[in-house]
Amino acid sequence: MARPAQRRVASRGGSRLSTRPVIDAHQHVWTADYPWLAKPGYEAIHRDFGVADLRANLKAAGVDRTILVEADWGHPSETVEFLHLAGAVPEVAGVVGYVDLLDPDLPTTLGRYTTHRHTRYLVGLRDQVQARRDPDFLARPEVVSALRRIAGAVPTFDLIVRVDQLDAAARAAAAVPELQFVLDHLGKPQIRDGAAGLAAWREAVGPLAKRPNVVAKLSGLVTEADWEHWTPEDLRPFVQAALELFGPDRLMFGSDWPMCELAAPYTRVKEALIEILGGEDPDVFSATAQRIYRIGEQ
């Protein structure tokens, strides 16, 4: 892939020229047969979204590289397919694959991934913890044991959790300090609830933000807001709180495309974050993802 062109980005000391690639740390592809796409209200995204769609959106938004994240197919075959795709598509810098933290045959699943010929693109794993009813799921002893095993296989573990699961996530991060945790979508704050949603989320996320082995993604926010009427001002208090709690060097941009299409097109998601931040912050839009997902080390 050609070297990205120089672009002027905002930094905390003003603007400067940077040749760092703009990285989307959270994006998906899927086919229309994913079962969860049949949910009422998801009609706008109930179709195939493939590499051609992805490339068109990356180009339109001025994004150079992306992290392809498991899309809740619920089987290791999806991760295997995504690793093949990463080996063929230069824009895909890494894959966050699927894992079941209660998988009785977890070592075999991890071995399947780590012996894949494109395993160098496997930058992390995640379980759909948000679908687990137990708010303390991540703190369960058998889950902590699984996370310790995962720490020996991949660099990171993505946390897709609800606000009521953030406390257990903080306990898991403390119990497995050798594993880098990545909080997806800021922990899904209820942006549509305004000040009440902000207060509840901020109290819950605070202990997790204090863990040095945790970073977070400024992703998935538009779909936690009012899909039809959101504005950047609705997102601003949550982004500003994340900057205060994590700092820009522990935050990264993620589009959550094509899920974001329920509320906004890819380009609008990126534009809204730039508006809130006052520019393409070099940490948020590049350096954090490069460091955490070890992009360029494959």
Residue 236's CATH number: 3.20.20.140
Instruction: State residue 18's pLDDT score.
Output: 52
Whether 104 maps to a domain, the answer reads yes
Whether 234 maps to a domain, the answer reads yes
Whether 194 maps to a domain, the answer reads yes
Instruction: State residue 9's pLDDT score.
Output: 39
Whether 87 maps to a domain, the answer reads yes
Instruction: State residue 182's pLDDT score.
Output: 98
Q: Look at the chain and report how many structural domains it folds into.
A: 1
Single pTM value for the model: 0.93
Q: Where are the beta strands (DSSP E) in the chain?
A: 7-11, 14-18, 23-27, 65-69, 92-98, 122-127, 156-159, 180-183, 214-218, 251-253
Other CB atoms closer than 10 Å to residue 232's CB: what's the count? 17
Nearest to 276 by CA among 258, 257, 256, 251: 251
Look-up: residue for tokens 């959790």?
A: 161
Instruction: State residue 23's pLDDT score.
Output: 98
CA dist 289 and 206 (Å) reads: 22
CA dist 254 and 110 (Å) reads: 26
Cis peptide before 258 (omega within 30 of 0): yes
Instruction: State residue 94's pLDDT score.
Output: 98
Instruction: State residue 6's pLDDT score.
Output: 36
Pairing, β 251-253 against β 180-183: unpaired
Nearest to 222 by CA among 181, 169, 276, 170: 276
Q: Tokens in use for 102? A: 């209660």
Pairing, β 7-11 against β 14-18: antiparallel
Instruction: State residue 165's pLDDT score.
Output: 98
Whether 209 maps to a domain, the answer reads yes
- pLDDT tens over the chain, length 298 residues: 333 333 333 433 333 335 789 999 999 999 999 999 999 999 999 999 999 999 999 999 999 999 999 999 999 999 999 999 999 999 999 999 999 999 999 999 999 999 999 999 999 999 999 999 999 999 999 999 999 999 999 999 999 999 999 999 999 999 999 999 999 999 999 999 999 999 999 999 999 999 999 999 999 999 999 999 999 999 999 999 999 999 999 999 999 999 999 999 999 999 999 999 999 999 999 999 999 999 986 6
Instruction: State residue 19's pLDDT score.
Output: 73
Whether 40 maps to a domain, the answer reads yes
> Which residues constitute the domain of residue 171?
21-292
What does the radius of gyration of the chain's CA atoms come to, in whole angstroms? 18
Per-residue model confidence as pLDDT tens digits over 176-209: 999 999 999 999 999 999 999 999 999 999 999 9
Whether 14 maps to a domain, the answer reads no
- Cα-Cα-Cα-Cα dihedral sign, residues 231, 234, 238, 243: positive
Whether 4 maps to a domain, the answer reads no
